[in-house]
Homo-oligomer: A and B are copies of this chain.
Amino acid sequence: MRVIIPFAGSMPKTRLSDVLSLSERRSFARAMLQDVLAAVQAAGHEPVLLTPSPLDSDVSTIVDDQPLSGAVNAVLSDSDLPVTVLMADLPLITATDLAQFVETQGDVVLAPGLGGGTNALVVRDRSFAVDYHGTSYLDHLETAQEMGLDVSEATSWRLTVDIDEPPDLAEVLLHNDGHASRWLAERGFSMVKSTGRANAIRTRDVQSQSSN
């Protein structure tokens, strides 16, 4: 199945600005994308990047400079269904998660993100359109139900835990063994645990390398 992966290359991950510079955020977003692409390919599916401007990548790419929802809806309209849409900030996912998600039955299958977003969806009915504004998970659920569509919820926590904010970086160090966790380790991040949840803290000051 085609797995559409929206990727905003130039100003990614703004909520990580307190801990990563712009060039680091671009590089880290690429590292997470590599892990997501690897999971999709290992599951035997076909990744397609959806970006607002051309990217240097070997992966099939659709360039559309509309805002996210419009660009995704254009792809849904133009595609043979089913199609999966998967966010690029999910470096915890494995091929198994992806395979199970894509096989989940339903006209629409939704994977919630932390804080009410929609991290991934499978669309099997042409009448459904996305709107990522607001608490999109609840909105997508309600819209699909109002349309009489059969909606399912994804189960995997690895699809729910997206990497958007500084506390999320601990999840990468805890549960990813690919590009994203190596990237953080090489930039001096390590896990610090006191009481409560572990945090990923930059304990060494490592110069950002423009080659990465």
Contact = CB atoms under 8 A, between A and B. Distances in A.
Interface of A: 15, 97, 100, 112-117, 134-135, 137-138, 154-157, 159-161, 164-165, 167, 170-171, 174-175, 191, 193, 196-199
Given A117-B197, A164-B196, 9 more contacts: A114-B197, A115-B171, A115-B174, A115-B198, A154-B157, A156-B157, A157-B157, A157-B160, A160-B160
Nearest to A94: B153
Copies in the complex: 2
A69 to B, nearest CB: 14
Contacts of A137: 174
A155 to B, nearest CB: 5
Nearest to A191: B135
Contacts of A117: 197
Contacts of A198: 115-116, 135
Nearest to A134: B193
Contacts of A114: 161, 171, 197
Contacts of A175: 112
A197 B112 CA distance: 11
Contacts of A156: 155-157
Contacts of A160: 157, 160-161
